Structure 1
């Protein structure tokens, strides 16, 4: 992303009353898709846009991904699929990871959504819906290869293999599973899950196979199978924390300085007065807090940036505000038009996550609606 100025003219910003500006680079998202697609060879590169495209806006992001070449999308819930259908072409396939809940099969067919069947109960429900429809209906089948989260057990798969009528009327378009330790390439669990997928799929109707999400793509061709489904990698999160991130950052979060003051030795900052100055300090209060999704736990070791200046967070993050140390910054650049980077070129989403003791997924999906959002277009 281009290094934008830290001082924004109020008249040039569409929402001068907002406390922070979240810039989302659609061009970077498209470039990440292109890179991931190139790594996966003949496998279809789908796109995961659940949780409103990881908090960045599925309405804006999905059409860009489709233009980049994605024609298979994954969401978590039925309602997400229904909303997404309005923003992609009729040719796009949308798979719903949580499958059909009781009473919802008609909504799937009504909105041209494909369920991922995770249990024998969902299989029975979809089979009954196909019987009522009078024609086979497509579905993906998920098998549990060791994560103990979603999917059919080996006993379930053996039951289906012994009685093929249990899948009557179900057109199996994909057999899939999910890696638990893909972000740890040396984990033996990866090869174990791969072997289990092959074993379980051999007992089910022949269909394309899928195992890898973002980090799994970087395990190599043996894990690509027929389809991969990147999510976090599309939005710039690192697939392997032990190696340099090959992906483009997609967001920049800049918070407005609301007030600047000088405090003296012994003065405390924030709720609980958990930080106290050892001497005179110049501090700034920002219009961003945990109600905006900037995690409260991010205060410990967290910081903002203004150009080359690292600005440590002082004390606890409040609901609507965060306090930083600006003692080293020239006073001339500190006023109500100054914005500091909370996420930016020197402090990535993954860096923020480490300070908060969490993962980049949570940081992205937590980003709130109070920011003014600016979508940077794709390059011409």
Structure 2
């Protein structure tokens, strides 16, 4: 078969633009990462992140002078130091980038077994590199006439899922020939995801020298106002904890839901993780475990904030044994769960 027959419409003239054989793209998306820990890399990343109206929805005339003149003058130094403490020096990249690459490779391998080379798997970041726009362009250039967009957030929040979707659709606005697209729903109650979480906790408890007295499920926080404005994030987090508790066969005394990463002056979802772990230590719960179900991959908020700052708060209040249970990352049960979700969402396309 000639190259003309393969790559151009039937009966097309010889000078017709080449059209790649049709494929389906699967684009995994995560929050983002700075390119380095230096001041300017951090400033670029934080500037993009904190300028997102989904993340900080204050009026620009009020927020941007504060951001550009004060926050982005100081915060890149402290954030750079925090990233430096967890940086993957061997690959010269953030752990989130390393893990997302591993997840993408695992997904690619699983889908190749099912669909052969009809599916192209890649990943992008909402902030930083690789950008959503660049990866959408690459998938289209490879012949992807359909794209499944998968934000790797188990729980929907305007500041995460919606922002990722916004960026994805902004990228599509630049395309002459837009692919058909689907967006994966939040998977906070997916049985296979809950089971993968439970397995990771059971393994951590089995490996612990002393069984933790209570499990703290620490979710990334959002302002309390967002809940009152209709964001379902808080309710979805609470449901994940309940389903996890039921799957583990525990009672209410063995597990608690908290929220971390508070930023700015307004009230956020409570209880705050950093305060709750100190309170637990003060009332005699000196042996705790902490997991982060809202994160699909370990990142600055888990490796540095939980395993350093929150751990320090617990120990200063009298806590003795602090077990951080890593995110699911590229764990086989997690990747099986995510692959199952992708398969379901590709229904009718392949």
TM-score class normalised by the smaller sequence: under 0.3
Which one has a larger percent helix, Structure 1 or Structure 2?
2
Which one has a larger percent strand, Structure 1 or Structure 2?
1
- TM-score normalised by L of structure 1: 0.25
- Give the number of the structure whose alpha-carbon radius of gyration is greater: 1
- TM-score normalised by L of structure 2: 0.26
